[in-house]
């Protein structure tokens, strides 16, 4: 099972690289087209934005697995064990609450009223 998980995360790393390469090609190509030929591809702006968003999300998953997320633990490292657990519970609860808000917000139609 661990081998399958490692393979999956290698695939995610490849996807991050592909998103970055596609983003660079689309943005650079659009800049050349706009300044060199006075035209451009409007879809490349949106597609590079989508690539950046997915690159960020997938990169966060990879960093979380490798325990390389940035964190500020100046206060938490000075707390006793119970305080550390309380801070962990509060932060996890806040993240869950924000995810619930995102889920609720994606289901509502703002133009339907």
**31 and 77 housed in the same domain:** no
Domains identified in the chain, total number: 2
**77 and 48 housed in the same domain:** no
**44 and 20 housed in the same domain:** yes
Going residue by residue through the chain, which has 113 residues, state the pLDDT in tens, using 9 for 90 and above.
889 988 999 999 999 999 999 999 999 999 898 888 888 788 888 889 888 988 988 888 888 888 777 777 788 889 999 999 999 899 889 989 988 888 887 776 666 55
Whole-angstrom Cα distance, residue 92 to residue 107?
23
**93 and 76 housed in the same domain:** yes
**94 and 57 housed in the same domain:** no
**22 and 61 housed in the same domain:** yes
**61 and 108 housed in the same domain:** no
**79 and 55 housed in the same domain:** no
- pLDDT reported for residue 110: 60
Q: What is the pTM of this model?
A: 0.61
Residues recorded for the chain: 113
**42 and 19 housed in the same domain:** yes
- pLDDT reported for residue 63: 87
- Structural domain span for residue 27: 1-70
**64 and 100 housed in the same domain:** no
CA distances (Å), origin 68, targets 3, 62, 64, 65: 21, 9, 6, 8
**3 and 38 housed in the same domain:** yes
- DSSP 3-state percent helix, strand, coil across the chain (nearest 5): 80, 0, 20
**56 and 84 housed in the same domain:** no
- pLDDT reported for residue 112: 58
Question: Phi and psi (nearest 5°) for 20?
Answer: -65, -45
Whole-angstrom Cα distance, residue 68 to residue 62?
9
């Amino acid at each position: 099972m661990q081998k399958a998980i490692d393979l999956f995360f290698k695939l995610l790393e490849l996807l991050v690289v592909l998103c970055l390469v596609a983003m660079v090609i689309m943005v650079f190509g659009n800049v050349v087209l706009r300044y060199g030929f006075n035209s451009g591809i409007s879809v490349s702006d949106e597609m590079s934005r989508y690539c950046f968003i997915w690159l960020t999300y997938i990169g966060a998953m990879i960093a979380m697995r490798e325990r390389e997320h940035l964190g500020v633990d100046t206060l938490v490292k000075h707390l006793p064990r119970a305080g550390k657990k309380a801070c962990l519970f509060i932060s996890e609860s806040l993240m869950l609450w924000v995810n619930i808000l995102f889920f609720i917000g994606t289901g509502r139609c703002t133009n339907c009223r």
